[in-house]
Amino acid sequence: MRLEVLKEKHKKIFSQLKFFPDFYLAGGTALALQIGHRISVDFDFFGKKEIEKKLFNKIKKVFKGSTISTAVNNKEELTVFVDNVKLTFLHYPFPLILKRKKYKGINFLSVKEIAATKAYTIGRRGTFKDYVDLYFIIKNKCSSLEQIIKLAQKKYKEEFNARLFLEQLIYLEDIEDIEIVFLKKKIAKQAIQNFFENEIKKIKL
C-alpha cells in the first residue's frame, strides 16, 4: 500500500477502518493507496446493504475520544467527520465483479473495478478528480479503456451508456479545474483531454 498518499491524521483513521468489514474502500483514496498517484483526503466506503442506524453508534465506539460530526445520515448514506477527516458510507447496490483486495483487515475495491466506477461516474458527469484517476489507471497500464468499458457494462448493465461515457470523457470544458496534489508530475486538463482522445481512437464499440 502506498501510505504516503495519506497525511498523518488520515493514517490514524485508516488504521481503524478494519472494524467495518461489511464495507469496502472505493473511490479516489482506495485508488491512490494502490497506485500512489495523488494525495487523497476522503474515505469512501461502499456496502451492498442499506445503512443501518447502528453504524453511527459503531463509528462513535471505534473512534472514541475523537471529535465526530454528522453531515448526512439516512438509509443511503452516512457521512461523518472524524477529527475533520471525512468518512462516507454508501449503500451501493451494484454487484462486485472482481475479487476485493485486502490490507490489514481493510477491504478494497480493485483498481480495475475502481476504473469501472469512475467510468460510470464520468458518464453521469464526474469531477476533475475522476478524470485524473482514470487517466492514471490507463497511463499506468492498470487497465485499458476498452477493458474499463466492458467491465462497466457488466457491472452496471443498462445503466451504463458507453457512448455517452466516451463523449463526456473528452469534454472537459465545463469541468472545474480543482487543485490536486500530485505525487509526481502535475498533469494539466488539456493534456488529459488529449490523452483520452488518443485512447478512444484505439477502441471499437
97-132, pLDDT tens digit by residue? Answer: 999 999 999 999 999 999 999 999 999 888 899 999
Same domain, 104 and 115: no
Burial readout 115-149 (b: 16 or more C-beta within 10 A, e: otherwise): bbbbbbbbbeebebbbbbbbbbbbeeebbebeebb
Same domain, 100 and 121: no
Chain length of the chain? 205
- Identify the pLDDT of residue 77: 98
| Domains contained in the chain, number | 2
Same domain, 66 and 115: no
> Read out DSSP for 61-116?
HHTTTS-EEEEEESSSEEEEEETTEEEEEEE--SPP-SPPEEETTEEE--HHHHHH
- Beta carbons within 8 Å of 87's beta carbon, 6+ residues apart: 13, 42, 43, 45, 59, 79, 80, 81
Same domain, 116 and 44: no
Q: Is the pTM of this model over 0.85?
A: yes
Residue type, 21: P
Q: What are the backbone angles phi and psi of residue 23, rounded to the nearest 5°? A: -120, 160
Q: What mean pLDDT value characterizes the chain?
A: 93
Last residue of some domain: 54, 79, 108?
Answer: 108
Start-to-end Cα distance in the chain: 35
User: Which domain range does residue 38 map to?
Assistant: 3-108
Closest CA to 73 of 60, 63, 61: 60
Last residue of some domain: 63, 89, 108?
Answer: 108
Same domain, 115 and 95: no
- Identify the pLDDT of residue 184: 78
Same domain, 20 and 102: yes
Question: What pLDDT digit, counting tens, does each position of 189-202 carry?
Answer: 899 999 999 999 98
Closest CA to 25 of 36, 35, 14, 11: 14
State the CB neighbour count (10 A cutoff) for residue 192.
21
Q: Which 8-state DSSP code applies to residue 168?
A: H
Same domain, 120 and 189: yes
Residue 205 belongs to some domain of the structure: no
Question: What pLDDT digit, counting tens, does each position of 32-75 carry?
Answer: 999 999 888 899 999 999 999 999 999 999 999 999 999 999 99
Closest CA to 192 of 134, 122, 151, 153: 134
Same domain, 129 and 194: yes
pLDDT band for position 205 (cuts 50, 70, 90): low
pLDDT of 183 higher than 90: no
